[in-house]
Structure 1
Amino acid sequence: MTDNLKKTPLNEWHRNAGANMADFGGFDMPLWYDSGVKNEHIAVLKSAGMFDTSHMDCIRVQGKDAPALLDFCFTRQTRDLLSGRCVYGAFLDDQGYCIDDAIVYKFSELRFMVCVNAGMGAMVTRHLTLHSGGKSIEIINLSEQLAKLDVQGKNALKIVSGLIRDKEDIFGKMPYFSFKGDLDPDAPNGVKLMDGTPVIVSRSGYTGEFGFEIFISPDKVEKLWCDLLDAGAPYGLMPCGLGARDSLRAGACLPLSHQDIGNFPFINHPWEFALPFKAGTRQFTKTFLGAESLINLEQPSFTYAFAGDSLRKVGPGHASRVLTAQGQDIGRVLTCATDMGIFWHEDRIVSINTPNLPPDVKIKGLACGFVMVNQPLDMGTRLTLAEGKRKIGVRLVADIRPDRTARLAIKNFQ
Structure 2
Amino acid sequence: MTRLLALLLLVLVSDAVEARSEPPLSALTVVGSPTTIFKAGRDACDGADVPDASARAFRDASGSVALFGMHYRNRAMRGPNLDQLKLDCTIVLDSGEKADPAAYDDRSWITATWTDDGKAVAALVHHEYQANEHEGRCSAKAYLACWYNTVVAASSGDGGRNFTRATPPLVVAGAPFRQEVGQGRQRGFFNPSNIVGDGRWRYVLVGTTGWSTGGNDQSAGVCLFRTDRPSDPTRWRAWTGLGFTAAFPDPYIKQPLLSETCKPLEPFPAPVGAMVRHRGTGAWIAVFMAKAGGRFAESGFYWTTSRDLLTWDQPRLLLAGSTLYDDPCTAKGDLIAYPSILDPTATGRNFDDVGDSALLTYVTLRREGCTVTSDRDLLRRPLSIKVWP
Give the alignment's TM-score, normalised by structure 1.
Answer: 0.26
Q: Higher helix proportion, which one?
A: 1
Q: Higher strand proportion, which one?
A: 2
Give the alignment's TM-score, normalised by structure 2.
Answer: 0.27
Larger Rg belongs to? 1
